Structure 1
Amino acid sequence: MRRSAASALSLLAAAALTACTSTQDVLEPSAIAQQQQQTTAATAGQPAQTGTTTPQPSSPTAPSPAPSGTTAAITTNARIQIAPIVGASVEAATPLTERLASRARQRGIRLAGGTDGSATHILKGYFSALTEGKETTVVYVWDVYDPAGTRLHRINGQQKVQVTGGDGWSSVPATAMQAIADTTVDQLATWLAGSAG
């Protein structure tokens, strides 16, 4: 009975996320990426570039690399703009967006900044963290749109973590959000490689 209640709760959360239009608790990924890029360029003595986002993860302990065979770069003309992330706290979304940019670069996916008009696709993410007992489930939905706003593809899933303190977003470690980023970029790369993107 408890398992079916948890499944029903997860399905309800996923349904709510697909209809989400709220801009509360959003994080603008391109703002982080541009700020990090300017900092990196300034420390290297080079002028900052705009329009591309290639930040490195800032966590002191880098997550383990993805399994071999899943990191091959793809060849695509697509330029992905990552829209503000809806539903996740800033603390949870920061490692996610940093890892998205890093992983996209590994996979050969070019990113466009928030004000860059060259984006061929827009990636919008909707997140929810549901704590039940000693486990928090992060439910996520990513929609890929063309610049005209037509949805072209959807990526969704769940990431479960053991609660070690707090609940909701406070119980979700950076490594869980980085794992979501890895899965998301790998699925996006697979879709882009199979499409005309």
Structure 2
Amino acid sequence: MRRSHVTTVSLLAALTLAACTNAKDVLEPSAIAPQSTQAVPKGGTGTTATPTTPATTAQPSPTAQPSAPAQSATATVPPAKSAAVIARTRLQVAPIVGASVEAATPLTAELQTRAKQRGITLAGSAGQTPTHVLKGYFSTMSEGKDTTVIYVWDVYDPAGNRLHRINGQHKAPSVNDSEGWAAVAPETMQAIADQTIDQFAAWLGGQAG
């Protein structure tokens, strides 16, 4: 009986020692295998947002350089040259075609006066050779209380070559309650003469260049 009790105590001691050894093995840190963990985004689906590529800034276009002012196609004729050409001019006025004598008389007289004012010499019958010949063609047109004088002047050289043409018309109230040339006032023909000589002188000045 006593031996049986000793045997039982020895067996319990052996079991206790074995239990302690097993517990030490379990608690040894080296016995625990490391476990890899993956971080899970909080509250997300795991989709990574792709950063937006910044918009390319438009390069400003180069500032256009102001263009140089265009040069005038027609050079200004010096007054001295223009005056020299006019001074050498000898103008002959041919008989007027189409106008009545009453209308042509104030026209011719004013042509002479205006030409003298502009420094243009009129070639007479004293043997002066003209440098230019002026031939005029006239007609009238009456409408209501007005009469229009239509005129064309051709400028020729002594050889008969046409160099220039001047044309126009002048409208004015009719006089004498009539039509045609009888309705044309002397002032109308004088105004036409002034315009003719002025345009002729301007053309001469342009020839100086």
Q: Which residue matches 1:178?
A: 190
2:195 & 2:112 partners in 1: Cα distance? Answer: 13
Q: Which residue matches 1:112?
A: 123
Q: How far off is 1:98 after superposition?
A: 0.2
Q: Return the match for 2:89 from 73, 78, 88.
A: 78
Q: CA RMSD in A?
A: 1.7
Whether 1:94 aligns to 2:105 is yes
Task: Kindly provide the amino acid, as one letter, of the partner of residue 128 in structure 1.
Answer: S
Q: How many residues align?
A: 125
- Using CA pairs under 8 Å that are at least 6 residues apart, name the structure with larger relative contact order, 1 or 2: 1
Q: How far off is 1:116 after superposition?
A: 3.2
Q: Which residue matches 2:28?
A: none
Task: Kindly provide the amino acid, as one letter, of the partner of residue 185 in structure 2.
Answer: P
Q: Which residue matches 2:172?
A: 161
Map 1:59-78 → 2, pairs under 5 A: 74-75=83-84, 76=86, 77-78=88-89
CA deviation map 1:60-83 (0-9, x unaligned): xxxxxxxxxxxxx94321100000
Whether 1:122 aligns to 2:133 is yes
Equivalent position SS for 2:133: strand
2:127 & 2:156 partners in 1: Cα distance? Answer: 16
Q: How far off is 1:196 after superposition?
A: 4.2
Cα 1:128–1:118 shift into 2, 3 Å: same
Identity %: 62
Cα 1:173–1:74 shift into 2, 3 Å: farther
Q: Which residue matches 1:34?
A: none
Normalising by the residue count of structure 1, what TM-score does the alignment of the two structures yield? 0.60
2:94 & 2:134 partners in 1: Cα distance? Answer: 6
Task: Kindly provide the amino acid, as one letter, of the partner of residue 121 in structure 1.
Answer: H
Whether contact under 8 Å (2:151, 2:168) holds in the other structure is yes
Task: Kindly provide the amino acid, as one letter, of the partner of residue 103 in structure 1.
Answer: R
Q: How far off is 1:160 after superposition?
A: 0.4
- Structure 2 unaligned regions, length at least 5: 1-81
- Structure 1 unaligned regions, length at least 5: 1-72
Rg larger for: 2
Map 1:10-25 → 2, pairs under 5 A: none
